[in-house]
Amino acid sequence: MFVGQMIMLYFLFLQTATFCGALYTAFLCLFGGFIILFTHMPKYLYWMSYLNFYSFCYDGMITSLYSYNRPKLECPEEVTYCHLSSPEYILKEMGIRGDSYWTDFGVLLVVFVCIRFVTYCALKKVIIGN
């Protein structure tokens, strides 16, 4: 919500803000680990995932689900082979270490505060400027 307000305040024209917001959303989804997994990203593009708070959300969500000594997942009786029954294997396939939950939480908290501060500064600039 605050990212959209921030974009709208910096780009005063609605068409420009809509275009830049769509580009920013595409960047977030592309380098957040949803479309391109971290293990499939080229090394020269991997650093862009550190600029993306979606990647920290994704990492924290997967870590909380499949880490911290989670037991093996149950397979149905009629299935002879379960490929993704081991949580460690799932973490390895997704390229997530599984020990960075509180780091992800801290980064998201800092990003939240920074986005609020930048939005406040932009709103103050618009109000005082007019």
pLDDT tens track for 17-69: 888 888 888 888 888 877 887 778 888 877 887 888 888 888 888 888 888 88
**What is the reported pLDDT for 106?**
93
Given a contact cutoff of 8 angstroms between Cβ atoms, the answer to whether 2 and 119 are in contact is: yes
d(CA 59, CA 20): 26
**What is the reported pLDDT for 130?**
62
The count of C-alpha atoms lying within 13 angstroms of the C-alpha of 86, restricted to the half-sphere facing its C-beta, is: 6
What is the phi/psi pair of residue 109, to 5°? -65, -45
Structure confidence at residue 109 as a pLDDT band (50, 70, 90): very high
Number of neighbours of residue 102 by Cβ within 10 angstroms: 10
Taking 90 as the threshold, does the pLDDT of residue 113 lie above it? yes
Taking 80 as the threshold, does the pLDDT of residue 70 lie above it? yes
The pTM score is: 0.76
Listed residue (11, 1, 34, 17) closest to 122, CA to CA: 11
Q: Where are the domains of the chain?
A: 2-129
